[in-house]
């Protein structure tokens, strides 16, 4: 039975509900996406184009500043993981962007206050705000779904790892996650990448570091373990010497 025009006028379309499986599938489907040229504003009011952060890996965490429990906990844990990654790879080896997706509330001042409360204000993070259209476009690129709710917003807690060319390389989920889930992909991107302009020796050093960087679960950190590499090098040397001896013996036999 068709509704009358008056009934149609008062019919309320329900808000879409958050579904974890749909959100996870959307997030995973975004891996490999290119992140567009989106324009943001930092906490000092300066314009920031996201593509200007390319050339090295980028971590992107989407939060809303009126969140008083989950987003702060997520940000503080991410900060501890960032420090572990910097210890392993160097302070300037990757970028970090904290982006407020509640465009009506997450102003530069709100982002500054949030970052200061979570202890990331002066850690070299990019603290960014944008209009609703930009946030929607970036969210599509990252496969990030969020819906208004009684708690502010329902959304999947994810940190997106963007490679140096601006493609989504990996998604990391949860308020708290194991260190290798974030740091291992960064190690792959930082040490496994071979830019055309990189000298051969620097490329070789990075390859050795990639092979020898080892995670120690006891202290939840990374260290360089050259023992396996040296063992292989010694073994190869012994084989080469042995082969030379055999060849010379055959020539004089």
- Looking at the structure, tell me whether residues 186 and 198 fall in a common domain: no
- Looking at the structure, tell me whether residues 163 and 86 fall in a common domain: yes
Identify the pLDDT of residue 218.
81
- Looking at the structure, tell me whether residues 157 and 232 fall in a common domain: no
pLDDT digits (tens, 9 = 90+) for 86-143: 999 999 999 999 999 999 999 999 999 999 999 998 888 999 999 999 999 999 999 9
SS (H, E, C) 71-106: HHHHHHHHHHHHHHHHHHHCCCCCEEEEEECCCCCC
The token duo for 76 is 């503080």
Q: State which of 192, 215, 234 marks the end of a domain.
A: 192
What does the alpha-carbon distance between residue 29 and residue 23 come to, in Å, rounded to a whole number? 10
- Looking at the structure, tell me whether residues 119 and 234 fall in a common domain: no
pTM above 0.85, yes or no: no
Look-up: residue for tokens 């990374």? 222
- Looking at the structure, tell me whether residues 104 and 75 fall in a common domain: yes
Identify the pLDDT of residue 225.
67
- Looking at the structure, tell me whether residues 241 and 125 fall in a common domain: no
Identify the pLDDT of residue 201.
46
Buried b (16+ CB within 10 A) or exposed e, 208-244: ebebbbebeeeeeebeeeeeeeeeeeeeeeeeeeeee
In a domain, 146, yes or no: yes
Q: Domain tally for the chain? A: 2
Beta bridge partners of 173: 158
- Looking at the structure, tell me whether residues 57 and 83 fall in a common domain: yes
Identify the pLDDT of residue 6.
53
- Looking at the structure, tell me whether residues 56 and 133 fall in a common domain: yes
Q: State which of 150, 171, 192 marks the end of a domain.
A: 192
What does the alpha-carbon distance between residue 191 and residue 203 come to, in Å, rounded to a whole number? 8
Range(s) of the domain holding residue 148: 15-192
Identify the pLDDT of residue 118.
95
- Looking at the structure, tell me whether residues 58 and 170 fall in a common domain: yes
How big is the chain, counted in residues? Answer: 253
- Looking at the structure, tell me whether residues 241 and 143 fall in a common domain: no
Cα 167-57-188 angle, rounded to 5 deg: 95
In a domain, 1, yes or no: no
- Looking at the structure, tell me whether residues 127 and 70 fall in a common domain: yes
What averages of pLDDT result for each successive group of 10 residues across the chain (253 residues)? 55 69 97 97 96 95 95 97 94 96 97 96 92 98 95 94 97 96 94 59 56 76 66 61 60 61
- Looking at the structure, tell me whether residues 125 and 219 fall in a common domain: no
C-alpha pair distances (Å), 11 with each of 1, 4, 149? 15, 10, 20
Identify the pLDDT of residue 56.
94
DSSP 3-state of 40: strand
Q: State which of 146, 171, 192 marks the end of a domain.
A: 192
Give all strands (DSSP E) within 150-232, no chain letters: 152-155, 158-162, 168-173, 213-216, 221-224
Task: Output the domain CATH number for residue 24.
Answer: 3.40.30.10
**Do 197 and 164 touch, CB atoms closer than 8 A?**
no
């Amino acid at each position: 039975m068709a509704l009358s025009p008056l009934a149609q006028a008062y019919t309320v379309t329900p808000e879409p509900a958050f579904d974890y499986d749909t959100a996870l599938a959307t997030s995973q489907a975004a891996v490999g996406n290119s992140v567009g040229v989106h324009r943001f504003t930092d906490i000092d009011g300066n314009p920031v184009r996201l593509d200007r952060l390319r050339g090295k890996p980028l971590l992107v965490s989407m939060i809303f500043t009126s969140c008083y429990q989950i987003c702060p906990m997520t940000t503080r844990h991410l900060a501890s993981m960032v420090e572990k990654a910097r210890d392993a790879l160097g302070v300037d080896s990757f970028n970090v962007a904290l982006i407020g997706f509640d465009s009506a509330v997450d102003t530069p001042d709100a982002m500054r206050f949030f970052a200061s409360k979570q202890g990331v204000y002066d850690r070299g993070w990019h603290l960014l705000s944008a209009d609703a259209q930009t946030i929607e476009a970036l969210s599509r690129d990252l496969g990030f779904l969020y819906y208004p709710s009684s708690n502010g917003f329902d959304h999947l807690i994810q940190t997106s790892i963007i490679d140096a060319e601006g493609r989504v390389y990996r998604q990391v989920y949860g308020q708290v996650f194991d260190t290798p889930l974030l740091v291992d992909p960064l190690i792959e991107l930082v040490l496994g990448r071979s830019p055309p302009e990189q000298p051969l020796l620097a490329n070789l050093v990075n390859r050795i570091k990639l092979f020898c960087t080892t995670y120690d679960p006891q202290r939840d950190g990374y260290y360089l373990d050259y023992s396996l590499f040296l063992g292989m090098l010694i073994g190869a040397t012994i084989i080469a010497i042995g082969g030379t001896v055999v060849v010379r013996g055959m020539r004089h036999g």
